[in-house]
Amino acid sequence: MPKSTPNFSFERKCCGPVCGVDEAGRGPLAGPVVAAAVILTPEKIPEGLNDSKILSKIRRELLLNEIMKNAQIGIGIAEPEEIDRINILGASMIAMRRAVLALPCLPETALIDGNKIPDLPCKAEYIIKGDARCLSIAAASIVAKVTRDRLMIDAELRFPGYKFFQHKGYATRLHCSLMQKLGPSPIHRRSFSPVKYFYD
């Protein structure tokens, strides 16, 4: 049975402007968690929007350009220090709130990927696996993923040697071996294993 693709039915059930919200970067050992909120223009929805995880890097970049030209975007970031102080779930909720508040206009409704709703000054509803079901959330997943990847590529310039451009902070064998050799960088999450063992 073929997999379903995201559609606009969730947005059509809502009144007024609707944004989709998603985040990228809950799992890595380093770098921020990045959230995006996107209000699509119904007449100008980029063709091929889908969950960022199943799209190629080139396709994500192309779709981001189309989203930026035809939609309203807000981006929210929670840095590693906040992740360590609060926890990753709380930091993700803060990043999502920041993304919604960063939109040019406050939406009437926010559609949130997952099963939790951040504290927002508008109506909100969560959609489990929303990035694969809802076009606005799929768009937000692309914006969040590409934005975070770019931040991690820039991080390599500030903290050379960790090859953040390659693994984006995820716990790959290469990343762990480089961290073992160099020690944690200032953007490593001290509360995450195995990073925290360097500080015990």
The 10s digit of each residue's pLDDT in 57-113 is 999 999 999 999 999 999 999 999 999 999 999 999 999 999 999 999 999 999 999
Find out whether 76 and 33 touch, Cβ atoms under 8 Å: no
Find out whether 21 and 99 touch, Cβ atoms under 8 Å: yes
In a domain? residue 90: yes
The 10s digit of each residue's pLDDT in 133-158 is 999 999 999 999 999 999 999 999 99
Q: Which domain holds residue 172?
A: 9-198
What is residue 7's DSSP assignment?
B
In a domain? residue 1: no
Burial class (CB in 10 A: 0-12, 13-18, 19+), 56: exposed
> What is the pLDDT, as a whole number, of residue 15?
87
> What is the pLDDT, as a whole number, of residue 73?
98
Q: 93 phi and psi, to 5 degrees?
A: -65, -40
Integer Cα distance of 8 and 191 in angstroms: 39
Average of pLDDT values for 115-122? 97
Output the domain CATH number for residue 85.
Answer: 3.30.420.10
What does pLDDT average to over the chain? 95
Both structure tokens of 63: 């779709």
Residue 48, Ramachandran bin (φ over 0: left; ψ between -120 and 50: alpha; else beta): left
pLDDT band at 36 (very low <50, low <70, confident <90, very high): very high
Counting residues of the chain whose pLDDT is more than 70, the rounded percentage is 98
Angle at 77 (CA atoms; ends 20, 100), nearest 5 degrees: 35
Residue with tokens 């770019």: 150
> What is the pLDDT, as a whole number, of residue 199?
80
For the chain, what's the residue count? Answer: 200
In a domain? residue 3: no
Residue partners of 56: CB distance under 8 A and separation at least 6: none
In a domain? residue 140: yes
> What is the pLDDT, as a whole number, of residue 3?
60
In a domain? residue 4: no
pLDDT band at 2 (very low <50, low <70, confident <90, very high): very low
Find out whether 19 and 37 touch, Cβ atoms under 8 Å: yes
In a domain? residue 117: yes
pLDDT band at 8 (very low <50, low <70, confident <90, very high): very high
Residue with tokens 């379903």: 4
Cα dist from 123 to 75, 102, 176, whole Å? 19, 16, 41
Residue with tokens 């693709």: 5
Q: How many domains does the chain have?
A: 1
Torsion of Cα atoms, 156 then 32 then 19 then 130, to 10°: 100
Is 162 in a helix, a strand, or coil? Answer: coil
